[in-house]
Structure 1
Amino acid sequence: MADRYGNDVLSGDWRKPKNGRTVEIAVEKGMVVEEPSSGFVGAVVRWEHGVVDLEDRHGRIKTYPMGPGFWVDGKPVSLQPPKRPGPAKKTKTASGSVAVSNVRAKVARASRIYVEGRHDAELVERVWGDDLRIEGVVIEYMEGIDDLPAIVNRFQPGPGRRLGVLVDHLVEGSKESKLAAQVNNRNVLVVGHPFIDIWEAVKPSSLGIAAWPKIPRGTDWKHGVLETFGWPATDQADVAAAWKHILSKVKSFADLEPELLGRVEELIDFVTQD
């Protein structure tokens, strides 16, 4: 027998509104939106602080609270601010190497890289830290190289226990070059950059200065720099504060001079050779 009353009126989603249920959508500039209670239709021109501005074809602009109560393409919608994108996935390390995710740092190698001072170590860590941890390379600082031959001997370099040394101001005829020449061991590599201090390896453009100043002989170089720039230069705390500011400007290898970049890469290659 035919059903005189048709389908069961309670079957299906009988409570669904004629034009569909309200759905949340993210606002976009230029999106055409209708506010049905007033009949105002306009394109989204801006949004902020929980409100949205619509501009109609006559150039009139009206402001409404964001949320439900709008139509887009004849369907009820709740306008929401666009979601902010999450942090971009890191694809490069600060040194320019390909970033490797989900890889634990290696157990530290017996081989090491020595640098002259704390600032040198902090700068190398800032740019090459990710690479060094993956390779299991530890950076240590010597607090000067006046005893470089003795420092090398105490390390006891040998096969599988290589030592790389980064020296400031390693130029022909300098005190540093004479000390480096005293080291003669196939498992030790001493290289250096031409700068008086590691600070100079940071590009002036990264600091917003024209150039590093020339400091007269006999004047402590770091204090001379601080005085030239008009920065506080009373004690070591002032030097530490200045270095903190300089280091904060180093975001990647692009902020360093190539004379340093090449030498550090050379040392990393040397101490990671099997």
Structure 2
Amino acid sequence: MDRYGTDVLKTDWRTPRRGRAQDLEAERGLVVEDVETGWVGAVVRVEKAGGMQVVHLEDRRGKVRGFPLGPGFLVDGKPVVLTPPTAERRAQVAAAKQAASRTASGSVRVSGQPARVASGSRIWVEGRHDAELVEKVWGDDLRVEGVVVEMLDGVDDLSAMIRQFAPTRDRRLGILVDHLVPGTKESRIVAEAARVSPYVKILGHPYVDVWQSIKPARLGLDAWPVIERGRSWKHGVLEALGWPHETQADVGLGWKKMLSTVRSYSDLEPTLLASVEELIDFVTVPPE
């Protein structure tokens, strides 16, 4: 018999009664207890706040409290050190990679291919703001196809401009017109211009200005403001938004702010999307 028993120094004699804490990912739904307060709840999210990571726990009554991520928790009575949910992080990375594989228009991004030399086909749009919006959402696609977007100062002489361009089967012309609704001056001009050539397609959107093609929710609105007749629509909208609106510079800055809210095609109204996509398809159709 060993009269002195086992050698306690050969064991982890400092081990706490409940055992040593083990690292555990704070995955959504994991039920844990905060040792200090006794709060028991399921993990609902992990986020950074005040320079530290915080885990939010929801108890059985639906109340949520935040605690610093790390040691000081129990799971089934055993101590754990909560760590960031790497599985969720991997999913976030995968989602980010998936998003990066798509252009702003939703098309599959073509990697490693330089922009094609410009083809003869063109897309005309009314004004700088229209051109900048089309570039932001469809620019990658158009560069791959070699299609150039050009600005129009207006559509009053549209038929003459089409004749000067002289579209052909392999040199097509697509035109996007603002405020194209039945009974307007624009609708009459477009009807005449469309007869000039079978290799021109003219489409439009019903909005007073291309600004309205941005979903109002992107600006924190339920709907675009209604501006009384006889007043500059853009200046009126900026004033309704509480933004500077007195000068043309204010208009330009306001538009830049609006454009920055557009992340992809999902931030635009379907009417504009359909028109632009159809025009791109038309001017990129291979010659018969």
User: Which moves more between the two structures, 128-137 or 90-99?
Assistant: 90-99
Residue pair 2:72, 2:80 contacting (<8 A) in 1 also? yes
| 1:99 paired residue number | 109
Using the alignment, how far apart are the partners of 1:231 and 1:253 within structure 2? 25
Change over 3 Å in CA distance of 1:198–1:56 after alignment to 2:
closer
Match of 1:220 among 225, 228, 232: 232
Q: Which residue of 1 aligns with 2:71?
A: 54
The farther-off stretch of 242-251 and 144-153 is 144-153
Q: 2:190 matched to 1:211? A: no
Residues 1:140 and 2:150 are matched in the alignment:
yes
Contact 2:105 2:265 survives alignment (8 Å): yes
Q: Deviations over 1:97-146 (max 9, x none)?
A: 22222222211110000000110011111111111111111111112222
Deviation, structure 1 residue 253: 0.9
The aligned counterpart of 2:118 is 108
Equivalent residue for 1:123, pick from 110, 115, 133? 133
Quote the residue 2:204 is aligned against.
192
Of residues 157, 173, 181, the one that matches 2:183 is 173
2:97 match: secondary structure? coil
Structure 1 residues 54 and 150, CA gap change in structure 2 (3 angstroms): same
- Residue of structure 2 equivalent to 1:153: 163
Residue 42 of structure 1 aligns with which residue? 21
Quote the offset at 1:205 in angstroms: 1.4
Indicate the RMSD between aligned Cα atoms, in angstroms: 3.2
TM superposition shift of 1:39: 5.5
Match of 2:39 in 1: none
Give the whole-Å Cα distance in 1 for the aligned partners of 2:178 and 2:70. Answer: 60
**Distance in 2 separating the partners of 1:173 and 1:203:** 25
Structure 1: tracts of 5 or more residues without a match: 1-35, 63-78
Does 2:97 correspond to 1:88?
yes
More helix by share: 2
Q: TM-score, normalised by structure 1?
A: 0.72
**Are 1:202 and 1:257, in contact at CA under 8 Å, matched by a contact in 2?**
yes
Deviations 1:145-167 (A, max 9, x none): 22212221222212311110000
In structure 2, distance between residues paired with 1:194 and 1:270: 21
CA–CA separation in structure 2 for the residues paired with 1:213 and 1:37: 73
Instruction: Name which one, 1 or 2, has greater alpha-carbon Rg.
Output: 1
Aligned pair count reads: 224
Aligned partner of 1:32 in structure 2 is: none
